Amino acid sequence: MNDWISHLETQGLVRAAENEWHFGEAVSQAHVPLSSTAIAPLPQYSIMEIAGPDAERFLQGQTSAQVELANGEFAPLTAFCSPKGRMLANGQLMRVDETRYWLLLDIGVVDPLHAHLAKYAPFYKVEITRPETQIFGVLGENAAAQVEAQLDATPPDTWAMAQSEAAVILHHPGPMPRFMIVAPEATALPLWKAFENIATPVGNAVWRLQDIQAGLAWLGDAQRDSYLPQMINWEALGGISFRKGCYTGQEVVARSHFRGQVKKRLLRAQLESDTLPTLGTPVHDTNGKSQGDVVCAALNADGKAEVLAIITQRDEPRELNIDGVPLKRLALPYAIERVDPESMSLQA
């Protein structure tokens, strides 16, 4: 970690907060990948490893993913829930070898999820650890070609993975091509240096903006145990298998789906303001009644704040605001309908 940060600081890295990193002035760099390739350190994520002869069976009883679909090519989205169906974490599942899995998670939920899973681990031949990895993103119109050139690997399709020696390559959706590189620091740092010759370093908020524009919310510790997976449109992104057997919280998640009882949903919107709302900031209607909360925010290329918020569903149209600033609703890039990960895996 020290070598990684020390090198980034020579390139102008400023750590405004623990997991908020930027280069130079703390202004939006969202315009950079519109015209060139950008690279971004991603300290907001971390990796949890589940390894051992029973790793697949252990995960199958805990997660919303059909674990056998994580085959080293397809890397499905997933969620871990409480018995009441509320998410303890959402993430992406990677099989990195026959008995070893990596989970990509918001860094804030790694320790709580570890503590939760550790209650069940003694009944299985598994070990849960947090490997020392670094994560960075490559994004822009030429990102795929640059990833292929630097890692000598065919870039994967969306929600698929590829491996290049010790590094894992993930392809996430968004308005422009973007790839995530996960690797041990000894591998990640030379790769980052190689990309520096062809790409511009930007802050991790640029990647977060891509998440917002993709309608993709990663829940941190503050949102833990608060929402059903459907409230972040997880079934529309293929993050829930309704064909698998029982897992913790499965009955509630399935009942909410088949009975259509999802009272809150993810909203994508823009504020006519350059002030970013903090996570958890309430969204109000014109009567001053809270309708939901902000779960993600970043500045776009025009310097305006874009947000994802989870709000209460209503049949009638409503005008919404954050701290009195009107919210302009923006379209999500996907339909709110069930997408089975089993069908997605066939395309990976």
315 pLDDT more than 90:
no
- Whether the pLDDT of residue 252 is over 80: the answer is yes
pLDDT for position 259: 87
Would you state the pLDDT for residue 191? Answer: 96
- Report the relative pairing of strands 264-271 and 282-285 from DSSP bridges: unpaired
If 0-12 CB within 10 Å is exposed, 13-18 middle and 19+ buried, where does residue 309 land?
buried
What digits encode the pLDDT tens for the residues 185-195?
Answer: 889 999 999 99
**Which of the pair, 311 or 315, is modelled with greater confidence?**
311
Render pLDDT for 254-313 as a digit per residue (tens, 0 to 9).
999 988 889 999 999 999 999 999 999 999 999 999 999 999 999 999 999 999 999 999
**Mean of the per-residue pLDDT values of the chain:** 94
Q: Is the pTM of this model over 0.85?
A: yes
Q: Which domains are assigned to the chain?
A: 1-261+334-347 (3.30.1360.120), 262-329 (2.40.30.110)
Condensed to tens digits (0 to 9), the pLDDT of residues 72-121 reads: 999 999 999 999 999 999 999 999 999 999 999 999 999 999 999 999 99
The tens digit of pLDDT for each residue in 23-68 reads 987 678 999 999 999 999 999 999 999 999 999 999 999 999 999 9
